[in-house]
Amino acid sequence: MPALVLLGAQWGDEGKGKATDLLGGSVDYVVRYQGGNNAGHTVVVGDQKYALHLLPSGILSPGCVPVIGNGVVVDPSVLLSELSGLNERGVDTSKLLISGNAHIITPYNVTVDKVTERFLGKRKIGTTGRGIGPTYADKINRVGIRVQDLYDESILQQKVEAALDVKNQLLTKLYNRRAISADQVVEELLGYAAQIESYVADTTLILNDALDQDKVVLFEGGQGTLLDIDHGTYPFVTSSNPTAGGACTGTGVGPTKISRVIGILKAYTTRVGAGPFPTELFDADGEALRRIGGERGVTTGRDRRCGWFDAVIARYATRVNGLTDFFLTKLDVLTGWEEIPVCVAYEIDGKRVEELPYSQSDFHHAKPVYETLPGWSEDITGAKSFSDLPKNARAYVKALEEMSGAPISAIGVGPGRDETIQINSFL
């Protein structure tokens, strides 16, 4: 069985953690391929709730090897505290593997993220402030620090000094901040080295060997398609590639090994941070979605912006990821609405548009064209099969499937592992 990718089809927080955890028991490896601790993936197992930021959700499945791929950016202090938090709760984390090529989020990257946002003022992105963008910028500028650099003190010293040369000019002369000491940064990073050494490995080799031996590898995306640096709503995006191609570059596994790409799709839409969002609601319905759906950020605690389902975005996710399946989540949250509007197209400057416009200004002007579907009032949280759903809920799912361009193979009807209706198997 080759590799599967599981990724966010909207603006993140679609329920990737729950979906990954659901498959965790049946796969051998769960691999994060991009992003870092900007992610917040919630997993509910029985009466226990876990919030994972950097670690792959597979860490909660005992038989599964969790892997942090080369495309991820790693804040070592967050890594260690997340590991010790799980250990205190009895979770065995000893199988974790971290790519030596993954880049390190240094303390100065976190500082630069925060001061840049402050400097942007009203034009800010609303980042998570975790240093993600500046770390990827250093990677592209070839002044990044990699996990393997922690094990060569003199190289580390040289690289940190080189990176801080320019940054300290910016911090002191432009942002009016104090310079950061290279020696202090090196000392802090060296302090993490021994603690994470046992996890560091050639993950590309290990994953390719595993696939050659017919092991099942699941790539778990962070963020979502519309937050992708290339295919998202730039510049209101994250600095990596959550889309399917990112799974290859972020792990060193070739595209011919991937057989299934599963898009996690919320039955309505949410977004955190700034940027365009055509179906956003500013009324009582938006407030109700936020309240019933518990739409508050796992990482930053910010309220999520909420709106109706947007089929234009779902179609776009199918296209740019080559989705083979959708996992529709949070259908239960829509219980109780008499009618549910679904955005089927946009109106842009008086014209009806069926596909996501590539022009940023057009997208900013896009007004949703709604079709209204009948709602349902029955509690669906106990539904185990598609036929257990009320007629109108089934019709809602079928309508979304038709508009979105890929089969809906699973439906979430609650946050728990077993609150899922499986229509087609993913494996």
Residues marked active site are found at: 13, 41, 139
- Stretch of 10-18, 63-71, 109-117, 238-246 lying at the interface with ligand GDP (CB under 6 A): 10-18
Asked if residue 413 binds ligand GDP (CB under 6 A), the reply is yes
Asked if residue 415 binds ligand GDP (CB under 6 A), the reply is yes
Give the residue, chosen from 9, 10, 13, 233, that forms a contact with Mg ion under the rule CB under 5 A: 13
- Smallest gap from Cβ 298 to Mg ion, in A, equals 5
Strand-pairing partners, residue 146, are 103
CB-based contacts of 350: which residues, under 8 Å, 6+ apart? Answer: none
Binding partner at 413 among ligand GDP, Mg ion, ligand IMO, none, C-beta below 5 to 8 Å by kind: ligand GDP
* Count, residues near ligand GDP per rule CB under 6 A: 23
Contact 221, 242 (CB under 8 A): yes
Binding partner at 126 among Mg ion, ligand GDP, ligand IMO, none, C-beta below 5 to 8 Å by kind: ligand IMO
Measured CA to CA, the distance from residue 295 to residue 301 in angstroms comes to 10
Nearest position to ligand GDP, beta carbon: 412
Measured CA to CA, the distance from residue 317 to residue 16 in angstroms comes to 15
Concatenated DSSP letters of 180-233: PPHHHHHHHHHHHHHHHGGGEE-HHHHHHHHHHTT--EEEE--S-GGG-TTTSS
Q: For ligand GDP, which is the closer residue by CB, 13 or 401?
A: 13
Ranges within 23-52 binding ligand IMO (CB under 6 A): 38-41
- Smallest gap from Cβ 272 to ligand IMO, in A, equals 4
Contact 160, 189 (CB under 8 A): yes
User: Nearest to residue 335, comparing CAs of 231, 411, 277, 229?
Assistant: 411
Asked if residue 14 binds Mg ion (CB under 5 A), the reply is no
Binding residues for substrate: 298-304
Binding partner at 231 among ligand GDP, ligand IMO, Mg ion, none, C-beta below 5 to 8 Å by kind: none
Q: What DSSP state is assigned to residue 97?
A: E
Give the residue, chosen from 15, 40, 66, 69, that forms a contact with Mg ion under the rule CB under 5 A: 40
- The three-state secondary structure class of 412 is strand
- Stretch of 130-138, 200-208, 212-220, 250-258 lying at the interface with ligand IMO (CB under 6 A): 130-138
Record the tokens describing residue 246, joined without a space: 């990112």
Give the residue, chosen from 64, 65, 227, 323, that forms a contact with ligand IMO under the rule CB under 6 A: 227
**Other beta carbons less than 10 A from residue 263's beta carbon:** 30
Q: Give 375: exposed, middle or buried? Use CB within 10 Å, 0-12, 13-18, 19+.
A: middle
Q: For ligand IMO, which is the closer residue by CB, 129 or 322?
A: 129
Asked if residue 310 binds ligand GDP (CB under 6 A), the reply is no
For residue 398, which amino acid is it? K
For residue 103, which amino acid is it? H
Q: Give 162: exposed, middle or buried? Use CB within 10 Å, 0-12, 13-18, 19+.
A: middle
Measured CA to CA, the distance from residue 241 to residue 422 in angstroms comes to 28
CB-based contacts of 60: which residues, under 8 Å, 6+ apart? Answer: 21, 24, 43, 45, 50, 91
Asked if residue 12 binds ligand IMO (CB under 6 A), the reply is yes
Binding partner at 241 among ligand GDP, Mg ion, ligand IMO, none, C-beta below 5 to 8 Å by kind: none
Asked if residue 15 binds Mg ion (CB under 5 A), the reply is no
For residue 140, which amino acid is it? I
Nearest position to ligand IMO, beta carbon: 273
Ranges within 322-341 binding ligand GDP (CB under 6 A): 329-330, 332-333
Measured CA to CA, the distance from residue 17 to residue 264 in angstroms comes to 10
Asked if residue 242 binds ligand GDP (CB under 6 A), the reply is no
For residue 113, which amino acid is it? D
Ranges within 232-291 binding ligand IMO (CB under 6 A): 238-239, 272-273
Concatenated DSSP letters of 412-427: E-SSBTT-EEESS---
Ranges within 284-313 binding ligand IMO (CB under 6 A): none
Measured CA to CA, the distance from residue 238 to residue 80 in angstroms comes to 24
Residues that bind ligand IMO (CB under 6 A): 8, 12-13, 38-41, 125-128, 130, 132-133, 222-224, 227, 238-239, 272-273
Residues that bind Mg ion (CB under 5 A): 13, 40, 298
Residues that bind ligand GDP (CB under 6 A): 8, 12-18, 39-42, 44, 294, 298, 329-330, 332-333, 412-415
